[in-house]
Structure 1
Amino acid sequence: MNPTEVDAYLRRLGVQHPAWPTVEVLRELHLRHLQTVPFENLSVHLGEEIVLEEERLVDKVVGARRGGFCYELNGAFGALLAALGFDVTLLAGRVYGDEGRLGIPYDHLVLRVRTVDGGEWLADVGFGAHSHYPLAFGARGEQEDPGGVFQIVEAGSDAAGVRGGDGVVKQGGGEAADLEVRTGGRSQYRLELRPRVLGDFVAGAWWHSTSPASHFTQSLVCSRVTEEGGRITLSGRVLKATSADGTREERELETDEEVLEAYRERFGIELGAVPVVRGPDRSG
């Protein structure tokens, strides 16, 4: 990213250009990203191509003022962090489904970030409901966050809720490969520690955009963290607002005008027509 693109991205987030890539800066950028750039799968249903190239991702998030899902959001955010001087590594994860089954390889993209004032952090602005701030990568105890209580543990350990060594692999340097990210007593996803590049995730993005088994092809979602610490979500025509204390309101939007207004006013997304679920591409 060039300086002009960096400045435009920071304006999108509503933050000043930081002097140094510190943990406090990372925390601010992480939270502001969740508040201003929605987690959404509209491209899947609008027939828009998802291209995992840095320039295209930044143009979508900054130029078009859109959101995206994990590959797009964490891909763009990682590019911004690297341009600001953070040491960023892309990692691949596999998300646990409702029945405790792991998703496809390259199911999820997250960021391992090192700051100049020490420490490594797990940054993830592309999972939907997740931690509001980066998680300490090396910590194995519980980490309290406005989004819940989180824990990063070695896969296969009892603490991770996964027994047996079937998922534990060794990589160069002797570092155990898989980690589990947990919250609320459940494993959210399993992480490999091998560094990846954006191109590694192309097949995963294609699968999530086209497969009948992908939840992204079956429903519409647009969601972000609110400035008060809650969450607002538009699922099809149902608008849901959850406050920081857990109070929840839900209502169905009856007209197309109401839906378009919600996208515009609540998420900053301008659309010419209401997106509808297209369903998976079964041609393959």
Structure 2
Amino acid sequence: MDDQTVRRYLRRIGAQAPGEPTVDLLRDLHLRHLRAVPFENLSIHLGEPITLDEGVLVAKVVDRGRGGFCYELNGLFASLLRALGFPVTLLSAQVYTPAGTLTHPFDHLVLRVDLDERYLVDVGSGAHSSYPLRLDWPEPQADPSGEFLVVDGPDGDVDVLMDGVRQYRAEARGRSLTDFAPTCWWQQTSPDSHFTQSLTCSLLTPDGRVTLSGNRLITTVAGERTECALDGDDAVRAAYRTHFGMELDQLPTPPRPAVVA
């Protein structure tokens, strides 16, 4: 990532020109990213192919003001961090289902940043920690988004818990972004993918979170959740503009409800 792109990216997340790669800078960039760049899967429902090419991701997230899902957001954030001098490793993660089982490898992408300690960085989840998590810390970690715990798993892997609930298991082995391309393709094309079955755009706010799913606007303020149905396409476009800074010429087509045999 060249210097000009770095400057545009920093403006996108409202960050100043940084100094040395420190924990404080990492925390600041992490929070700013979560509050500026939404977690969204609109491309899948707009018929836009998702490719893990840095130039394409920069054009989408930095220049067009869009968001993305984990492969896009964490993949691009890794490039920014590296350009700023942070040692970054991409990690594959498996997500825990409500039944307590794990999904397939490469279902999620997270980052490890090695500074004075090792930190788990994730700006590509719908709802996760506001700040990086210490990987080698055995005690609960307080965060504005909840209480997190990182525990040892098999073969050097780690499990991440949020408010006592297991979220995902991250591998120890480093990966390249191209390793995630097959699963990225599956996520955007398979009828079994969560992302083809749902439509979401979600952003962390200073006092909670705002989410738009189809025409349902969901806001959480100080832990209190409010949901309302927006009336008509103009209202939905206005919500994308107001809450996420997105100007959409075309609205995404909501997925059809699954047919129960």
TM-score higher than 0.5: yes
Give me the whole-angstrom Cα distance separating, in 1, the residues matched to 2:128 and 2:204.
10
Q: Does the alignment pair 1:233 with 2:203?
A: no
The superposition leaves residues 179-217 of structure 1 with CA deviations (integer Å, 9 ceiling, x where unpaired) of 100112111001111000000001111111111221110
Counterpart residue number, 1:21:
21
CA distance in 2, matches of 1:194, 1:230: 34
Alignment partner, residue 11 of structure 2: 11
Match of 1:145 among 143, 146, 153: 143
Alignment-mate amino acid for residue 136 of structure 1: R
Give the Cα–Cα distance (whole angstroms) in 1 for the partners of residues 113 and 73 of structure 2. 15
Aligned residue type for 1:144: A
Q: Does 1:71 align with 2:71?
A: yes
1:125-144 equivalences in 2 (<5 Å): 125-144=123-142
- Given that 1:232 and 1:239 are in contact with CA atoms closer than 8 Å, whether structure 2 keeps it comes out as yes
Structure 1 counterpart of 2:37: 37
> Measured at CA, do residues 127 and 266 of structure 1 come closer, stay the same or move farther in structure 2, by a change above 3 Å?
same
Paired residue for 2:238?
261
**Shift in CA distance, 183/62, structure 1 to aligned 2, threshold 3 Å:** same
Write the mapping of 1:247-258 to structure 2, written as runs, cut at 5 A: 247-258=224-235
Indicate conservation of the 8 Å contact 2:46/2:251, yes or no: no
Contact persistence 2:46–2:250 (CA under 8 A): no
Shift of 1:279: 5.7
Q: Deviation above 6 Å: which 4+ runs of structure 1?
A: none
**What's the CA shift string for 1:56-92, capped at 9, x where partnerless?**
2122110111000000000011100000000000000
What do you get for the CA RMSD once the two structures are aligned?
A: 1.2
Please name the residue that 1:124 is paired with.
122
How far is the alpha carbon of 1:53 from its aligned partner? 1.7
SS at match of 1:122: strand
Q: Superposition pairs for residues 1-284 of structure 1, below 5 Å? A: 1-115=1-115, 118-155=116-153, 168-169=154-155, 176=156, 178-226=157-205, 228-243=206-221, 245-278=222-255
Identical amino acids, percent of aligned pairs: 54
Q: Distance in 2 between matches of 1:262 and 1:129?
A: 20
For this pair of structures, how many residues does the alignment match?
257
In the alignment, structure 2 segments of 5+ residues that lack a partner are none
- Cα distance in 2 for partners of 1:196, 1:230 equals 32
Deviation per CA, 1:122-175: give whole Å up to 9, x if none: 1100011000000011112100000100011012xxxxxxxxxxxx23xxxxxx
Query: In 2, Cα distance between the equivalents of 1:4 and 1:246?
Result: 39
Give, in angstroms, the shift of residue 278 of structure 1: 4.6
For 1:15 and 1:46, locate their aligned partners in 2 and report how far apart those are by CA, in whole Å: 30
Q: CA deviation at 1:273?
A: 2.0
Query: Tell me, what secondary structure is at the counterpart of 1:58?
Result: helix
